[in-house]
Amino acid sequence: MINSKLGPYEIRAEIGKGGMATVYRAYQPAVDRDVAIKVIHNNGLAEPNAAERFQREAQIIARLEHPHILPVYDFNGTNNPPYIVMRLLDGGTLRDVIDHKALPFDEIGYILRQTASALDYAHSRGIVHRDVKPSNILLDQVGNIFVADFGMAHLVAPLAGQNTLTLDGTALGTPGYMAPEQGLGASTITAQADIYALGVMLFEMLTGELPYYAESSIALMLKHISEPIPSAYNQNPLLPRAVDTVLQQALAKQPENRFVTVTAFAEAVIQALGGAVATIPIHLVHHQTQIDSVATNDMSTLRDTVPVVPDSTMSEQQRQVTVLFLNLIEIEEVLFETRDEEETALAMKALTTAADRIIVQHGGIVYEHTRQTVQAAWGIENAGEDDAERAINAALTIRQSLFETIAPSYWSASDEILPLRIALHTGFVLQQPSSQHGKRTLAGQTLNIVQKIADLAAIGLILVTQSTYRQVIGVFDMFPQPAIRIRGHKELFEVYTVERARPRAFRLSTRGIEGIETKTIGRDAELKTLQESLLLTIEDRETQMITCVGDAGIGKSRLLYEFSKWIDGIEHDVILFQGRAVPQLMKQPYALLRDVLAFRFEILDSDSLSTAREKFETGIAVFMGADSAEKSHFIGHLVGIDFSESPYIKQILRFDCPICNLLCLSYFFHHFNIAGF
- Residue 456: the pLDDT is 86
Which is it for strands 373-378 and 439-443: parallel, antiparallel or unpaired?
unpaired
pLDDT tens-digit map of 95-145: 888 887 778 898 999 999 999 999 999 999 888 988 899 989 999 877 889
- Residue 305: the pLDDT is 29
Residue 277: what residue type?
A: V
Name the residue ranges covered by the structural domains of the chain: 5-87, 94-272, 303-502, 511-563, 583-675
pLDDT tens-digit map of 615-674: 888 888 877 777 778 878 877 877 777 777 888 777 666 555 555 666 666 766 666 666
Q: Is the pLDDT of residue 482 over 80?
A: yes
Write the burial class of residue 300 (CB in 10 Å: 0-12 exposed, 13-18 middle, 19+ buried).
middle
The per-residue pLDDT of the chain, averaged, comes to 77
d(CA 457, CA 408): 23
Average pLDDT over residues 268-274: 94
- Residue 273: the pLDDT is 93
What would the 3-class secondary structure string for 281-329 be?
CHHHHCHHHCCCCCCCCCCCCCCCCCCCEECCCCCCEEEEEEEEEEECH
Least confident interval from 1-15, 365-379, 554-568: 554-568
Question: Which is catalytic among the residues 106, 131, 149, 311?
Answer: 131
**CATH (residue range 94-272):** 1.10.510.10
**Domain 5-87 sits in CATH 3.30.200.20:** yes
Active site includes 131?
A: yes
Q: Is the pLDDT of residue 511 over 90?
A: no
Confidence tier at 255 by pLDDT (50, 70, 90): very high
d(CA 298, CA 222): 22
Q: Where are the alpha helices (DSSP H) in 516-605?
A: 524-540, 556-569, 591-601
What letter does residue 69 receive in the DSSP assignment?
B
Residue 344: strand, helix, or coil: helix
Q: Is the pLDDT of residue 248 over 60?
A: yes
- Residue 562: the pLDDT is 80
pTM above threshold 0.75: no
Question: Which position has the higher pLDDT, 348 or 412?
Answer: 348
**CATH (residue range 303-502):** 3.30.70.1230
Q: How many CB atoms lie within 10 A of CB 237?
A: 20
Question: Which position has the higher pLDDT, 237 or 289?
Answer: 237
Confidence tier at 433 by pLDDT (50, 70, 90): low
d(CA 518, CA 511): 7
